[in-house]
Structure 1
Amino acid sequence: MTSGWTHSLFGQLTIATLWLLIVGLCATIVNHFNPDRNELVRKVIHIGTGNIILIAWWLNIPMWIIIAASIFFSILTLLSYYFPILPNINSIGRKSFGTFFYAVSIGVLAAWFWTVGKPEFAAIGILVMTWGDGFAALIGQRFGKHSYRLWDMKKSWEGSSAMAAISFSVCALILLSTIGNVWQIWLVSLLVGLCAAGLEAFSKFGIDNLTVPIMSAAIAFFLTQNLL
């Protein structure tokens, strides 16, 4: 049972801020011991910050706070592409707006699913991107031996398989905790996993950080509404 303090706006913001500080500290430690592994630092931040959606869901943080934070970080990440504001996240001039799309997707999903009282689907979308995309990149880089090309992008079957498996697991765990163990959730989770893997394969300019969370959440939401 949560205390009255966690229901106060100050308490909610304090917990969310502490989590982001912990993620930042972890990224700093990783960067200290692996100064040449900038991609690893980015993935620590990518995976860590996405879990803020769980805090927002569990503490019932107001929608306007999430959207305001999304707008703030969207502007900050855009500026960071041209100025050294977030050097561990973006490289100046890097031809990817993935971090920007990441921040935008959180605001879009909060506006959608907080409004209809279904924040668990926002969590599905964000966590599929957070865990699925994050580990797909790490596994693909470390273990990717069987590559394929989609347009001018090189991907690996190992990374895509990891994306599908982790996305399936994320979706299934959340639906199990909110709906219960019915056969439909396994079908929904399978379709979400396959769709997420397909969308992640097309990641030009980081657009997958927008398409993966929104489409994963939308598929999970509409299928559960129609199959259950």
Structure 2
Amino acid sequence: MKKFIVLGVLFILPIVAYLFFASGVHNFAKLPVIEEEIPELKLQQDVRLENKITVLGFLGNTIERDGGDLFNLNQKIFKSFSGFDDFQFVYLVPETIDQDALDKVTYELSQLVDLSNWYFVQTPQANINTVFNSLNTPYSLQEDGGSPYIFIIDKDRKLRGRDDDEDYGVLYGYDSSDIAELADKMKDDVKIVLAEYRLALKKNNADRKK
């Protein structure tokens, strides 16, 4: 019997250890809060951060450049999580953008995925600057008023990211032009935030039944 126990331990422990390390540290912890209390969006369109898990982006006027980034996001992030009602994409767009170019991109995206939870909100550049600066990141908006970086905002309007990233140290946002960063980091982090709220919902439902 002892022989079988020893053999079992020797066989099982390496598998458990492998699964733990292969899954990554971030899958076993909450995604860190990088900035508290991001101000609510003040937009004419009824789009809000509160009670939504939001991917927040800043499109800028150069739709020719940013259009490819939007398709990267659709393929690597949005399609995987578009079924969650509380998950949304919000892009702030300058009022001076080429409307025809924007319409063309959104139409092409709509042929690939349901865009009912993906919002392109046109607003004055001054408002875009205010929202971007409220995130308190080391990034800056580009000359066209946009940024390749996108950000995860949780339901309590907190900026989520990584405080121990192997490449950046603190990871405030994700470069939408970098497919590897979207696939290897952002997708994992969105999963974690969604899992947090699913677990909290299950706990609340269990507590109500007691």
| TM-score for the superposition, normalised by structure 2 | 0.28
More strand by share: 2
Q: Larger Rg: 1 or 2?
A: 2
Q: TM-score, with normalisation over the residues of structure 1? A: 0.27
Where relative contact order (Cα < 8 A, 6+ residues apart) is larger, the structure is: 2
Structure with more of its chain in helix, by fraction: 1
